[in-house]
Amino acid sequence: MLRTKLIWVCAAIFGLTSALYADFPAEEVWRVELDATATVLGSYWQDEDGQTFFLVGTANHVLIISEGEVVWESPELDGWVSALNRIDFGVGEGSEIVAATVEDSTGTLHRFFDDDYEEHNSFLIYVFEAVVHRADDPRHITSIDFFPEMLPDSACRVYLGNKHHLYGYDFMLNPYRRLTGGIRVFSLSKEDFVAEISTTAVIDSKVIDTDGNGQSELIIGRFSSYFSHIGVDYYELSYGITVFNSELEIQNSVRIFSYFNWSPPENNTGFFCLQLIVEEDDDNPALYVTYRDTGGSYVERLTIPNLERGEQIELSNGQRQINETPVYFYPNGENAHHYLLCINDIGFIYVIDVEDFRLVETFRFMEEFHFGSSVGNYDNDEELELAYLTSDDFYLFDIGPLSVPSGSLLPYVPERYAITAAYPNPFNAFTRIEYALPRPGRFAIGVYDLTGREVNRLSDGFMAAGSYHIVWNASEMPGGVYLVRLKGSGGDAARAVHLVK
């Protein structure tokens, strides 16, 4: 059974004490300190000697990293790297690295050839023109794909997923903002677009032969949003999955989540979180999707290519947000079950038994901000390795045997009353308060100034045991230090926050 191992990145933060979780069985092999902030983890490959090379994008360079060192660095680029791939188009020029960068409102494609990695060409791409131009709203490429059955391809075609905002006015002159995007096919040889289809913003994509007939499909995770002000605010949000063939004809499509209301959703930040992983099984191919709605974060299993929705597991108890959760298959012994691992942005790992599709364990791995990972046998030994990208470092870990309980994991219950995190802190207008309740009861969360006066009541009511969060909007408050205090049945906790104006 061939299993694809792919990992992606997220953007919301929550923090809990690592002592409350088991330790993930990983041992550091090497670490590379990056000179610029990481933005994306690209593909990897092995040479004829079995040495593994990793593509990493940063704020201004493309890097190739192998065996604990940077073995190649691109010239300084014109923006931050948003997507990467390594492709051999079969036209006699060998493999090349195709990288997309974003700067202001434009995207650029760069080509680096495999022989000496010198840049061959750069193509300036105006992904879309906005109805009303906004210099602070970059429109950028989110994925670079190709269809293997089209090789050799003298046109050197790449399928570019993109997202961008449109700003304008409707027929009644009400202002609106719409997030949209699509797939555009770009010929590197012709230096021009040769096909396109407008869908919605492309968040993630995979090319896979779903039925083994030699004809691959492009599966995209798509997201759209719409906001307008027509006397009152109006919000629309939705995301789903669409399957295309190489001619960009839609084969199947399904909506995963939608929201239509006159008020913003409670968990409005970071909705760009729908991500995909494909289990390539000749008998029962499956698509696993991680996503977040207004209540929490989930992983769901769908059949492919017909996209019938199946089981769903809640990862966050309806409270903690997990954006763009990475997923991969981890074989735990030759005859053992396979596991689906979901890693959030600061290294919490949720382990799901794929056979029974149940949550069986939670690990606390690293506190550094997670930007992407992949798993494979990168040094040809008996152990799998975890390649792990943070904002400042790139790690390789040996992964030991994974031991999980035989039964389903019970909902997490904190050991003590605590305000576990306030992020950001210091903050300018909004800060996210996270807190833990070991027992049910009536609780109130208030904000106090340094004189002890309560200036804002954030929550007041009965709550079950568990972990929660709430956002404090302090845009109308004067700058200074405030105390966030949790008070209630049998316990209390406090944390200082600093409002900067």
CATH number of the domain to which 230 belongs? 2.130.10.10
What pLDDT sits at residue 319?
A: 39
Its domain, for residue 367, covers 18-399
Pairing status of strand 80-87 against strand 96-103? antiparallel
Q: Could you tell me if residue 328 is inside a domain?
A: yes
What pLDDT sits at residue 86?
A: 93
What pLDDT sits at residue 416?
A: 78
Residue-level length of the chain:
501
Same domain for 94 and 184, yes or no, is yes
Same domain for 444 and 346, yes or no, is no
Same domain for 45 and 175, yes or no, is yes
Same domain for 425 and 322, yes or no, is no
Q: Could you tell me if residue 405 is inside a domain?
A: no
What pLDDT sits at residue 404?
A: 62
What pLDDT sits at residue 53?
A: 94
Q: Could you tell me if residue 245 is inside a domain?
A: yes
Q: Could you tell me if residue 454 is inside a domain?
A: yes
Identity of residue 195? A
Same domain for 176 and 271, yes or no, is yes
What pLDDT sits at residue 121?
A: 65
Identity of residue 63? L
> Taking a C-beta distance cutoff of 8 angstroms, is the pair 230, 169 a contact?
no
Q: Could you tell me if residue 8 is inside a domain?
A: no
For the chain (501 residues), the mean pLDDT of every run of 10, in chain order, is 28 28 79 94 90 94 94 89 92 87 80 70 53 49 90 93 79 78 90 85 83 82 80 75 90 83 55 57 72 71 82 60 49 58 75 78 77 82 84 89 58 72 84 80 87 88 71 87 86 88 81
Q: Could you tell me if residue 446 is inside a domain?
A: yes
Number of domains within the chain? 2
Helix ranges (DSSP H) in 236-282: none
Q: Could you tell me if residue 439 is inside a domain?
A: yes
Residue percentage of the chain with pLDDT more than 90: 21
Nearest residue to 412 via CA among 465, 469, 339: 465
Same domain for 317 and 457, yes or no, is no
Chain-centre distance for alpha carbon 458: 29
Q: Say whether pTM exceeds 0.75.
A: no
